[in-house]
């Protein structure tokens, strides 16, 4: 037996055969923990943003629905309103083959889609969007219709404005939804 072949260096408090973790192993473990926490926080923030957007859309009948419905009406109809240059805020009247005449108009802070009854009966009115600041449309060239809807929406930050004593309303911003559609030719095109 050689002199020193049975010598082993042990750390204080460790029994024979046990070793602690080295510095590199600890750094790898901490790095993996930080990476996992970063991924978890990113997922948490994205879920919060999605939640605030869905709450905002729940409170206001979807601006995306309004623009999609308007686009569908414009693409499948003839424009009855007369041609004048510039933006107009009067009702946009369309004639469809399936539903007859349809009027899009703003009344107060509400955007309405009204199915007009030519027989003198009651019209069917549908609230399409709330918190509307303006509704305007134009025909820049024959066969093309531009529509602009300005509405108030929650900004998604979750901040609350306390500008009126006793009320807690969410912070909102003005958004603009624009629709440009090539419509079928109708009378006056």
- CA of residue 74 relative to chain centroid, distance: 22
Is residue 169 within 8 A of residue 161, CB to CB? The reply is yes
Give the C-alpha separation, 103 to 1, whole Å. 104
Question: What is residue 184's predicted lDDT score, i.e. its pLDDT?
Answer: 55
What are the structure tokens assigned to 126, written together?
């549908």
Q: How much is the pTM?
A: 0.56
Residue 158, Ramachandran bin (φ over 0: left; ψ between -120 and 50: alpha; else beta): left
b vs e for 157-174, b when ≥16 Cβ sit within 10 Å of the residue's Cβ? eeeeeeeeeeeeebebee
Question: What is residue 180's predicted lDDT score, i.e. its pLDDT?
Answer: 74
Give the C-alpha separation, 108 to 188, whole Å. 30
Give the C-alpha separation, 95 to 148, whole Å. 20
Question: What is residue 9's predicted lDDT score, i.e. its pLDDT?
Answer: 53
Neighbours of 113 (CB within 10 A): 20
Going from N- to C-terminal start, the domains of the chain cover 22-59, 62-182
pLDDT along the chain (189 residues), means of 10: 54 62 90 95 88 66 79 81 78 83 89 83 84 86 83 58 49 70 54
Is residue 171 within 8 A of residue 159, CB to CB? The reply is yes
């Amino acid at each position: 037996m050689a002199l020193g072949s049975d010598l082993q260096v042990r750390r204080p408090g460790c029994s024979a055969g046990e070793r602690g973790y080295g510095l590199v192993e600890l750094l790898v473990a901490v790095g993996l923990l930080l990476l996992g926490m970063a991924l978890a926080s990113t997922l948490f923030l994205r879920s919060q943003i999605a939640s605030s957007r869905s709450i905002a859309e729940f409170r206001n009948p979807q601006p995306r629905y309004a623009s999609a419905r308007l686009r569908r009406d414009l693409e499948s109809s003839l424009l009855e309103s007369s041609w004048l240059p510039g933006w107009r805020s009067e009702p946009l009247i369309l004639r469809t083959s399936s539903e007859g005449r349809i009027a899009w108009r703003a009344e107060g802070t509400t955007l309405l889609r009204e199915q007009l009854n030519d027989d003198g009966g009651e019209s069917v009115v549908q609230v399409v969007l709330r918190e509307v600041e303006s509704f305007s449309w134009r025909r820049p060239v024959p066969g093309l219709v531009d529509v602009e809807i300005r509405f108030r929406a929650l900004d998604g930050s979750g901040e609350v404005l306390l500008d009126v004593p006793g009320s807690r309303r969410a912070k909102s911003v003005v958004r603009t939804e624009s629709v440009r559609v090539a419509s079928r030719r109708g009378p006056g095109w």
